[in-house]
Amino acid sequence: RSLTIFVIVLPKADPGYQCSEKVGSSNITALLVVNRVVSILSGGGLSINGKHVYCGDYIFSGHTVIFVMAYLAIKQYTPSKYYLAHWVSLLVSICGIIFLLLARGHYTIDIIVAYALTYWLWITYHTMARIPILKTKHKDNQLKGLLWWHVLRWLESNTDHEVPNEFSIPFWGLIKKFWRRCQSPPLTSVHC
């Protein structure tokens, strides 16, 4: 995304956006950069604080990336019996993208490019992670030319098989143990 922001600059999607003034290359200081970063972070990257520091950084939509990745993660990593969660996350993602377009937060092309790149990256990563030969330096493995292939090999180095889609409540065993202790007659001075 950083590369596309640097290379492709589009006009503001909404003429009502108030952007910071452009600063010439000779006037950029470390303090100015820090101030603009703090301004962006103070609104969570959104227009909540009314200060749009950088306008024209649309290709591609980071918001759409988050919506698509969230849906794909929920769909991929939760058991199929949680179909309601799958449908709700899909609906929330679609509504979020539609609201981005309605609010003129992004152009349609930003959304399409973000969806295409995110989905391609997701499918490519998971295909490479599941097929062992794609994680090797085999002479016929053309995917090893991808820049992030080495990162994938490192991330997936200690997995010999697919991780099962199982769901458990964190610390559930500890909670049950504590609950049983509270239900039994106290043997010590500890009370619940």
Angle between helices 62-77 and 83-102 (to 10 degrees): 170
Asked about 86 being catalytic, the answer comes back as: no
d(CA 57, CA 60): 8
Assess contact for 163 and 136: CB atoms under 8 A: no
Active-site option among 14, 57, 86, 106: 106
Active-site option among 63, 86, 160, 191: 63
Q: Which residue has the tokens 């993208």?
A: 97
Asked about 14 being catalytic, the answer comes back as: no
Q: Which two tokens stand for residue 40?
A: 């962006």
Active-site option among 110, 138, 150, 191: 110
Asked about 57 being catalytic, the answer comes back as: no
DSSP structure string for 56-70: S--SS-HHHHHHHHH
Count of residues in the chain: 192
d(CA 91, CA 111): 16
Assess contact for 139 and 89: CB atoms under 8 A: no
So which residues are the catalytic ones? 63, 106, 110
